[in-house]
Amino acid sequence: MNKQDLSALTIKTLHDKIKSKEIKFIDIIDSVINHIKTDEQKINGFISIFEQEAINQARQLDQKVDYNNLPPLTGIPIAVKDNICVKDKLTTCGSKILSNFISPYDATAIARLKNAGAIIIGKTNLDEFAMGSSTETSYFGATKNPINNDYVTGGSSGGSAAVVKYQGAISALGSDTGGSVRHPAAFCGVVGLKPTYGRVSRYGLVAFASSLDCIGPIGKSVKDVATIFNIIAGYDPLDATTINKPVTPISVDAGTIKNYTLGIPKQFFAQGLDTRIAKVIDNTIKNLSKKCKNVKEVSLPNTKYAVATYYLICMAEASSNLARYDGVKYGLRLDTKELKEMYEKTRDQGLNTEVKRRILIGTYGLSKGYYDEYYGTAQKARNLIKQDFNNAFKECDVIITPTTPTLPFKIGEKIEDPLAMYLGDIFTTPANLAGITAISVPAPELIDNFPVGIQITGPAMGEEYIINSAQAIEETVV
């Protein structure tokens, strides 16, 4: 095969080719860098690229690697969303306020990738502080969808999804607070996994909404996503909210879905869903029904309250988490005569309008006289949404829905209408509120050349079920 095309292969195939000495490490890096050279300028998926370092690391591996002891990601170039710390590299969060911030340490997920041999190829673009669903609000400009450059990538991990799509990296890490891994995966036609809350350490992930944030992998294939998940998952003493249970590595097997009952929630197929997407999902379910044990309708009656509940909670948590960006210790600082003025001016100039909007609403919802009415009520509604899932999973193993209610939209189309943008998260936010796991995988059919994301949701710690179901969809040929 042409060495230019190596970046189209899965992690496992590349690993096998390296092991059998059919290819060199530098061949993989060369292939990825070639794609970056061709596409990056028009896509704007990266904030930083570590080209020379990656070349040096690959050359070193070629010179002195022990072929009898090759960890699973040896020499595999991985891109990392720019809100996850990589030691001695910029971590900007797509914001002016952190545009000069260098990470003093590796996030636990990064340390685990490096231990498994990965080469970090660059840091990817995102909506500022991961607040957005289109990757348009970054201080470093919008990322464009590789499928059609006039359209958004979805967000907020749009840079990670885009560079995986154009093969500027073999896989990537994103973060998912309300859908930020699954949403851009759906819009860019790649696979994105949001693990169970607490399954992957948040140490070194810049906090947005701490009770919802989750690091998740993005890849070209379900197997790649599973490979990365197996490496980054597990207890971490540096994050007290990680689950202290052993991780059994998932070996992907679509055949196991013959034992699964698939749940279809009627509430997801109601008003607001593009009818063309509904039809694609219908076809997919028909195909799966031949392979699984049973398909049945389930009810998630409080889904329509998910967006309001999610935004009230995440904005409140964000207003508290982002209070640290005040110009005192690191990041941007504006010179002023007085301290209070320094805080206000630094935050005014350093943060964009969407981040300010969320800090303001979050502050309002937590302020005296409004706490019970907003934040307190949302916490109760969150409990109802979680109970809906508990009830549904008594009747089924996984839940199949669309990932997004619409196809990708044009750059600029929704940026002036924040509420319209928020409503695009209707199908992804419930899994974050409930703390459970969900994956987005491209449907076997396209609509007007655009991919359709199918979301499979599983119970807490149920990654194996959703990954196997996603594999069954990936293997479907229309």
Partner 1 sequence: MINQSDLEKIARLAKLGLTADESSKLTKDLENIINYFHEIKELELRNVSPMTHAVMIVLPLRLDEIKPFKCMDNYLPYKKFNYIFVPAVLE
319 vs 471, which CB is nearer to partner 1?
319
Binding residues for partner 1 restricted to 441-470, rule: CB under 8 A: 460
Does 379 interact with partner 1 (rule: CB under 8 A)? yes
Number of Cβ atoms within 10 Å of the Cβ of 477: 5
Tell me which of 287, 383, 406, 476 binds partner 1, using CB under 8 A: 383
CB of 87 to partner 1, least distance (A): 10
Q: What is the Cα gyration radius of the chain?
A: 21
Tell me which of 37, 296, 324, 380 binds partner 1, using CB under 8 A: 380
Whether 31 is catalytic: no
Tell me which of 357, 395, 413, 444 binds partner 1, using CB under 8 A: 357
93 vs 441, which CB is nearer to partner 1?
93
Give the residue carrying structure tokens 């690091």. 215
Question: Which stretch, 31-39, 167-175, 187-195, 362-370, contacts partner 1 (CB under 8 A)?
Answer: 362-370
Whether 81 is catalytic: yes
Whether 223 is catalytic: no
CB of 26 to partner 1, least distance (A): 32
Q: Which pair of tokens denotes residue 40?
A: 């990056």
Q: Which of 7, 31, 48, 81 is catalytic?
A: 81
Tell me which of 126, 212, 273, 316 binds partner 1, using CB under 8 A: 212
Cβ pair 220, 191 in contact under 8 A: yes
Tell me whether the omega of the peptide bond preceding residue 48 falls within 30 degrees of 0, making it cis.
Answer: no
Binding residues for partner 1 restricted to 321-350, rule: CB under 8 A: 323, 326, 328-330, 333, 336-345, 347-349
Q: Which of 31, 95, 180, 319 is catalytic?
A: 180
Q: Which of 7, 103, 138, 156 is catalytic?
A: 156
Beta-bridge partner residues of 401: 455
Give the residue carrying structure tokens 């007085």. 338
Cβ pair 194, 214 in contact under 8 A: yes
Active site residues: 81, 156, 180
Footprint on this chain of partner 1 (rule: CB under 8 A): 100, 102, 104-105, 197-198, 211-212, 240-241, 243, 302, 304-305, 308-309, 311-312, 319, 323, 326, 328-330, 333, 336-345, 347-349, 351, 353, 356-357, 359-361, 363-364, 367, 374, 376-384, 386, 418-419, 422, 432-435, 460
